[in-house]
């Protein structure tokens, strides 16, 4: 009986050591790591931490509003014309900023991908044009959002 227990214990320790070695030598995909870091960065740049902090530290009456309805107009960007400052934001503004940052990021990735198609010039030019268009569009729209926040 003791020989059977010793054999099972040694087999279990071998299985656990093999499992531990597999886990310790496992490397995640570089694409997966790149996408995760990029998504977290875009979330932080767009003000997601402010929205999460506001959602958890406030009661229902003081939570982050999605939009405002003032003088028969909907406002999705918290500007000075409705009493806000540059540091305040609506929930919809988080979504707008996240979308624009993601659009700029996709433009940069398309711009980078255009350098990989040296032997396919049509594909390279299409990626270059799409990437530049998305990048400039995101930049100008983000600048207009900041102007709306500052000047109303």
What does the pLDDT read at residue 74? 66
* Count of other CB atoms within 10 angstroms of residue 6: 10
d(Cα 143, Cα 149) in Å, to the nearest integer? 10
What does the pLDDT read at residue 4? 61
User: Per residue in 21-68, pLDDT tens?
Assistant: 777 778 888 888 888 999 999 888 887 777 777 666 655 445 666 666
Higher pLDDT, 114 or 3: 114
User: Per residue in 56-100, pLDDT tens?
Assistant: 665 544 566 666 666 776 666 766 666 666 666 777 788 888 899
Burial of 98 (0-12, 13-18, 19+ CB in 10 A): middle
What does the pLDDT read at residue 30? 86
Do strands 68-70 and 73-75 pair parallel, antiparallel, or not at all (unpaired)? antiparallel
DSSP H or E segment with residue 119: none
Report if pTM > 0.85: no
Phi then psi for residue 46, to 5 deg, are -80, -5
- Whether the per-residue pLDDT at 103 is higher than 60: the answer is yes
d(Cα 52, Cα 60) in Å, to the nearest integer? 14
Which residue ranges make up each domain of the chain? 29-151
d(Cα 8, Cα 43) in Å, to the nearest integer? 49
| Beta-carbon contacts of residue 115 (< 8 Å; ≥ 6 apart) | 124
Torsion-angle region of 71 (φ positive above 0: left; ψ -120 to 50: alpha; else: beta): left
CA atoms in the 13 A half-sphere facing the CB of 50: 17
């Amino acid at each position: 009986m003791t020989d059977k227990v010793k054999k099972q214990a040694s087999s279990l320790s071998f299985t656990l050591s093999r499992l531990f070695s597999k886990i310790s030598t496992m490397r995640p995909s570089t694409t997966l790591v790149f996408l995760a870091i990029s998504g977290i960065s875009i979330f932080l740049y767009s003000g997601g931490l402010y929205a999460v902090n506001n959602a958890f530290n406030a009661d229902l009456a003081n939570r982050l509003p999605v939009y405002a309805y003032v003088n028969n107009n909907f406002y999705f960007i918290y500007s000075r014309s409705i009493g806000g400052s540059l540091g305040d934001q609506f929930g919809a503004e988080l979504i707008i900023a996240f979308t624009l940052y993601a659009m700029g990021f996709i433009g940069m990735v398309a711009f980078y991908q255009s350098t990989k198609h040296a032997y396919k010039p049509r594909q390279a030019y299409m990626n270059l044009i799409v990437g530049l268009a998305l990048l400039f569009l995101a930049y100008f729209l983000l600048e207009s959002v900041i102007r709306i926040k500052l000047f109303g």
